[in-house]
Structure 1
Amino acid sequence: MRKLFIIGLCISSLIGWASARSPLGGDGRPPAVALKTNALYWATATPNLGVEFRLAPRWSLEAEVGLNPFTGKEDDGSYGKSIKHFRVHPELRYWFCETFYGHFLGVHVPYLIYNVSDISWLGTADERHQGWGAGVGVSYGYNWVVGKHWNIEATIGVGYLYLESDKYPCENCGTRIENTRKHYFGPTQAAVSAIYLF
C-alpha cells in the first residue's frame, strides 16, 4: 500500500511539474510548428505522422495521416484479419490558454479509404469490406509540456462518419456480395501523441 502511495505521489508531482512548464521557447516566442505521432495508432500497426501549425495565439490547424499497408491476404488468395487503410484527419483547434499548451477543443473532418476483413468488433467477421468514409466530429484534449521542445498530448473525439463499401466473403474475395452504406455515430478519434515543437 505504501509503494502505491509513493508511486501515485511521484506521478502527480510529475504531472504538476509538466503542467507548470511554460510553452515559450528559449527566446520567449511560442512554437510555430509541431510534429507528432500517435502511440495508440501505432498499436494497430499503423505508421502515422501529424503536423500542427500555430495560426494565432489560441488557434492551430493540425493534419494527421495514417497508413496501414498490411493486407492480411493468405497464400490461397483468401483474406485473414486485416485493417488496411489510409486516413487523413485535419482538425482546427481552439486553445484555452495558449497554442500547444493546456486544454483545447477541436473540430475534425476525417477521410479514409479502407479494406477491412475478419475483424469481429468492426462488424466484418468472415467478410471483407472495401470502401471509403468521411465525416465530422468534435474533440477535447490536453497538451503537457515535458521539455523545451517536447510535449505529450491526449485527445478524444466523437462524431459522425458516412461509410460506403463493397462487401465480399473472405474465402472468395472475387465476387461482390453487396454495396453497403452506413451512418456511424460514436468515437472518431483517440490519441496519446509524442510531439516535437519548432
Structure 2
Amino acid sequence: MSRKITFLTLFLWLMTVTFPVIAQQKADTTCIFRFVPQKDMFYVPWNGNETELAHLLEYIENNKATILDGKLPLLVDGYCNSKSCEVKNLATAKIRANRVKSELIIRAKIKEENFITHNHATEGDFVTVRLTVPLKETAVTDAEAEARLAAEPTVADRRERQKAEAEKAAQQNTLADTPSETKITTDYHLSLRANLLRWATLTPDLGVEWRICPSWGIAVNGSWTSWTWSDKDHRYALWEVAPEVRYYMGEKKAWYLGALFKAGQFNYKLSETGKQGDLMGGGITAGHQLRLNKALALDFNLGLGYLNADYEKYEVIDGVRVRHGNETKDWWGPINAGVTLVWKLF
C-alpha cells in the first residue's frame, strides 16, 4: 500500500513538471534599429538592422490578424541624444521613429493606427519596436477554464479599455513630441539685435547673436552715426563695435552673465570746445531676455567696467578747426546699457 501511495505521489509530481499549465502568458519581443549619430536616415543594411528587421517582420506576419484588429499594437520608441539641444533631439527621434514605421507599413502591409509611438531625447541613437506576443495555450482543467471565462471581460469592457489606453498613449505621445515653453526659449542659433536706447538717441545700432548651445552665446553689436548742425559748428559722430560672450542660466535660460569688449572713435562738439578721439575698454554684463513670442524678445542689459578715452580738444573759428591739445581720461562704472529687440532668424 505504501508503494502505491509513493508511486501515485511521484506520478502526480511528474505530471506537474512535464505538463505545466500555460494560460494567457505573453512574451515581449523587442527589436532595436541603430542610427548614425546626428542623422535621421534609416539604413537597413547597417549595424545589424537588416537582421532585426527580418525577425520583426516574421513576428508581425505570425500575428498579423491580431495586429490589424488593434489588439496587439506595436510600441515604437525613438531615441536621440547626439544633437545640440533637447528640441532637436526630440525632432530627430520623431523622424527616426516615422522612418522605421514607414518601412514596416510598406513591407508588412500594416497601418499607422497599429503603432503607439513615444520619442525621447535620451540614451542614444536608435529606435526600438516592441510587441507583446501571446504564447500558445496548453490544456487546462475545466475548473480553470470556467474561472478564466468568468474573469474574461465582455466585448464592451474590452472596447472601453482599449479606447482608454489609446487615448492615454496619444496624450503621452503628444506631450513627448511637443516642445514646452522652456524649450522654445532656447531653440535658436542666430538672431538679429537692435538696441532701442541707441536708436532713441539717433544712433543706429544693429547686431547679431549666435547661440552655440542653450547655455552659451556670442553677440556682436555695432553703432554708427554722424550729425552736424548750426553750419557745422556742432557735431555728434561716433562708431563702436562691442563683441560679447554670454552664459545663460536658469531653467528657461533667460538670465545671463557676459564679458564685453568695446572699441571705437568719437567726435563730439556740443559747446564751444569739441572732443575727437578713440575709446577702448571692457567689463562684465548682466541681463534678462523677456520672450514676447516665438520670434521676438526684449533683452534688458547693463555693463560695468573700464573705458579709456584718448582724444584731442578743438574749437571751430571761422569754419576752421583749431586744436587745443590732447587729453586722456579713464572711466570706471557703467559702460553699456540697452533695451534690445531680439529677432530670431532660425
- Shorter-normalised TM-score: what interval? 0.7 to 0.9
Give the AA of the match of 1:135.
Answer: G
The structural deviation recorded for 1:171 is 4.4
**Aligned-residue identity in percent:** 27
Instruction: State yes or no: 1:95 paired with 2:279.
Output: no
Question: Equivalents in 1 of 2:265, 2:303: separation in Å?
Answer: 20
Question: Equivalents in 2 of 1:47, 1:171: separation in Å?
Answer: 30
Instruction: State yes or no: 1:37 paired with 2:190.
Output: no
Q: 1:117 aligns with which of 257, 269, 280?
A: 269
| Superposed counterparts of 1:49-198, under 5 Å | 49-70=206-227, 72-75=228-231, 77=232, 79-80=233-234, 82-97=235-250, 101-118=253-270, 125-171=271-317, 173-197=320-344, 198=346
Contact 2:285–2:302 (CA under 8 A) maintained in structure 1: yes
Q: Which runs of 5+ in 2 are unaligned?
A: 1-179
Give the AA of the match of 2:303.
Answer: G
Q: Is the alpha carbon distance of 1:166 and 1:23 closer, same or farther for their aligned partners in structure 2, counting shifts above 3 Å?
A: farther
**Larger CA Rg, structure 1 vs 2:** 2
Contact 1:21–1:146 (CA under 8 A) maintained in structure 2: no
Contact 2:192–2:343 (CA under 8 A) maintained in structure 1: yes
Contact 1:22–1:145 (CA under 8 A) maintained in structure 2: no
Question: Equivalents in 2 of 1:151, 1:114: separation in Å?
Answer: 30
Question: Equivalents in 2 of 1:59, 1:168: separation in Å?
Answer: 44
TM-score normalised by the chain length of structure 2: 0.45
TM-score normalised by the chain length of structure 1: 0.77
The structural deviation recorded for 1:97 is 2.9
Q: Is the alpha carbon distance of 1:96 and 1:67 closer, same or farther for their aligned partners in structure 2, counting shifts above 3 Å?
A: same
Runs of 4+ aligned structure 1 residues displaced above 6 Å come to none
1:143-176 deviation per Cα after TM superposition (whole angstroms, max 9, x unaligned): 0111111111100111101101111024465221
The structural deviation recorded for 1:23 is 4.8
Contact 2:291–2:298 (CA under 8 A) maintained in structure 1: yes
Give the AA of the match of 2:255.
Answer: H
Q: Is the alpha carbon distance of 1:22 and 1:116 closer, same or farther for their aligned partners in structure 2, counting shifts above 3 Å?
A: same
Find the counterpart in structure 2 of residue 4 from structure 1.
none
Q: Which runs of 5+ in 1 are unaligned?
A: 1-19, 119-124
1:73-115 deviation per Cα after TM superposition (whole angstroms, max 9, x unaligned): 432x5x22x331001011110111378x411011100011111
Tell me the SS of whatever aligns to 1:24.
helix
Contact 1:95–1:102 (CA under 8 A) maintained in structure 2: yes
Tell me the SS of whatever aligns to 1:176.
strand
Question: Equivalents in 1 of 2:258, 2:226: separation in Å?
Answer: 28
Give the AA of the match of 1:151.
Answer: A
Q: Which has the higher contact order (CA 8 A, sep 6+)?
A: 1
Q: Is the alpha carbon distance of 1:98 and 1:59 closer, same or farther for their aligned partners in structure 2, counting shifts above 3 Å?
A: farther
Tell me the SS of whatever aligns to 2:221.
strand
Question: Equivalents in 2 of 1:131, 1:154: separation in Å?
Answer: 29
Find the counterpart in structure 1 of residue 175 from structure 2.
none
The structural deviation recorded for 1:137 is 1.0
Contact 1:23–1:145 (CA under 8 A) maintained in structure 2: no
1:55-88 deviation per Cα after TM superposition (whole angstroms, max 9, x unaligned): 2331111000011121x2432x5x22x3310010
